[in-house]
Amino acid sequence: MGLKVCEIFTSIQGESSYAGLLCFFIRLTGCNLRCTYCDTDYAYYDGNILLIDELVEMVRVSNVDLVEITGGEPLLQEETPTLIERLINEGKTVLIETNGSLSIEHINEYAVIIMDIKTPSSGMTYKMNFNNIAHLKPKDEIKFVISDEMDYLWVKNIISSYELYGKYKLLLSPAYGVLHPEKLANWIIRDKLNVRMNLQLHKYIYGDNIKGV
């Protein structure tokens, strides 16, 4: 047993309210979705099996306080909840970046969930598990990747239908290379939408198509 791991690296967190912080990333292999704008398709299959003990030891020696478990879709693997628990017991702040299609109900309450809700342009909205919203905690974050104004208007509607304001951190990100950030900024300002606009910081630092950043 163990986890199939696509890559492990230390970088700058780029896609949440933790953006800018030093972060140890564990990218797990496998994804059950196929978003139109996916930039991590190399994580669908590539990877090696590592034991939880090995992963915990790597985190321990890294001396980095913030750990993100991402993918692919990290909740696909059976042992992910155990890894989360072990890292929390190590005193780490653990972020779980999940695509919103799988249940988050049994994830350790001390982990921070960063949950996507896939917008129409992703082609994956129909796979979303909207019951997850009931299991989010106040410190959790919901991320929407936006490709066009139709996505943006859809997101506004979701925020109001599910009464998300003030309950969770709401992150709106322009799809990199698809929607210019200025457009999204102007829509948010026009509508006085109380959300956090989020840029994929690591891409502005390193460019796109680079693994391990």
Note the residues at the interface with ligand SF4 (CB under 6 A).
31, 33-35, 38, 40, 43, 71-73, 99
Q: Could you tell me the two tokens for 14? A: 């780029």
Write down the least CB distance from residue 118 to ligand SF4, Å.
7
Contact 46, 6 (CB under 8 A): yes
If the CB atoms of residues 6 and 94 are measured against ligand SF4, the closer one turns out to be 6
If the CB atoms of residues 17 and 40 are measured against ligand SF4, the closer one turns out to be 40
Write down the least CB distance from residue 9 to ligand SF4, Å.
16
Residue 15 CB contacts under 8 Å (≥ 6 apart), including other chains = 97, 114, 143, 171, 173, 198, 200, 201, 202
The angle formed by the CA atoms of residues 147, 202 and 170, to the nearest 5 degrees, is 50
Write down the least CB distance from residue 15 to ligand SF4, Å.
11
**CA nearest to 7, candidates 67, 63, 71:** 71
Write down the least CB distance from residue 163 to ligand SF4, Å.
25
Write down the least CB distance from residue 65 to ligand SF4, Å.
25
CA–CA distance, 183 with 188 (Å, rounded to integer): 9
Q: Could you tell me the two tokens for 47? A: 């990877």
If the CB atoms of residues 86 and 144 are measured against ligand SF4, the closer one turns out to be 144
If the CB atoms of residues 12 and 38 are measured against ligand SF4, the closer one turns out to be 38
If the CB atoms of residues 86 and 202 are measured against ligand SF4, the closer one turns out to be 202
